[in-house]
Amino acid sequence: MYKNMIRVYEILMVIMIIVYLCLWYYNNHHKENFEQNKKQDFFIYANTYDKIYDDFYGYIYDDLFYQEEYYLAICEIILKHVNQVFNNHLCIGIKHGGHINQLLKDNMKTISVSRSHAVVNVCSYHYKENQYKFIPDVENNPYIFDENSFTHISLIDNELYYLTNLPGFFYNCERWLIFKGYLMIQCYHHKQDVKQAFLKIGENSSVRTKTIYSHEFKDFQDQNSFTLVETIKEKEKERKHRHSLYFYKKEYIKQVASEFGFDLLDSLSLSKHETIMVFQKL
């Protein structure tokens, strides 16, 4: 009887070990395949805004390009035009991790918007208490926000060069800003400056040590249209972005702004390549 019981226990132990090994193999093999497939999905050819700024690119963007001193310079310019009583700031075009809301939070309320779901998710993950919104048609839909909602509107992170309807953008900003409100636009002096300073290389980038990153600008016959082609390679895999961009001369920006009731107050330098044009709604 005793020997039979030992025999039963031995059989049960063997069965349990076999089940455990099977489960271990399945879980690890399934997880490995899932991660490989998921990673493989990131190595794509993307030529639209939402596909370029997806979960993968949104996650590594800070690592590749974020420079805190540059962002502090933007905030310093915005705060030069702060009001004494009330400040409600709309920031358009964010691509980094929502840092501008955090840097400005002690001085003004900021709502940041992006046409990328992934960028908004990254920002909200970093700073859960701040406001970030996905808005894909900020230049074409004047009813996103109520009239006279904001004291300040800023257009940063090179978003100007993704806009295809600049008059529509100014029309919407004129509706959303209060009287005497400020509109601040980050822009480059010349097309060559775009090519030199569009991408701010992040310090100590871990992505660049693990992958091969490269980029180049290509011009079209239309002098105002050009593309930025980025390539990220890891071993035999490759991810490629094709950004469609539009260059606006500062004289044209000023002209369109004037047509919608904006006066250029100042142009404040961010670097030798770029400036922030400060307009006021009249």
Cβ(234)–Cβ(43) under 8 Å?
yes
Instruction: Please list the residues that pair with 237 across neighbouring strands.
Output: 234
**How far apart, in whole angstroms, are the C-alpha atoms of residue 64 and residue 62?**
5
Q: What is the pLDDT along the chain (282 residues), one digit of tens a residue?
A: 555 555 655 666 656 666 555 555 444 443 344 344 445 567 889 999 999 999 999 999 999 999 889 999 999 999 999 998 899 999 999 998 889 999 999 999 999 999 999 999 999 999 999 999 999 999 999 999 999 999 999 999 999 999 999 999 999 999 999 999 999 999 999 999 999 999 988 777 888 888 889 999 998 767 789 999 999 998 888 999 999 999 999 999 999 999 999 999 999 999 999 999 999 999
Reading the block at residue 192, the tokens are 């060559």
**How far apart, in whole angstroms, are the C-alpha atoms of residue 133 and residue 123?**
10
Cβ(279)–Cβ(265) under 8 Å?
yes
**How far apart, in whole angstroms, are the C-alpha atoms of residue 223 and residue 257?**
22
**How far apart, in whole angstroms, are the C-alpha atoms of residue 264 and residue 255?**
10
Instruction: Please list the residues that pair with 247 across neighbouring strands.
Output: none
Find, among 95, 83, 113, 256, the residue nearest to 174 by Cα.
256
Residue with tokens 């926000």: 145
Cβ-based neighbours of 185, under 8 Å, separated by 6 or more = 154, 155, 160, 253, 276, 277, 279
Cβ(180)–Cβ(203) under 8 Å?
no
With residues binned 3-state (H G I as helix, E B as strand, rest as coil), the percentages for the chain, rounded to 5, are 45, 30, 30
Instruction: Please tell me the pTM assigned to this model.
Output: 0.83
Q: Determine the pLDDT at residue 206.
A: 86
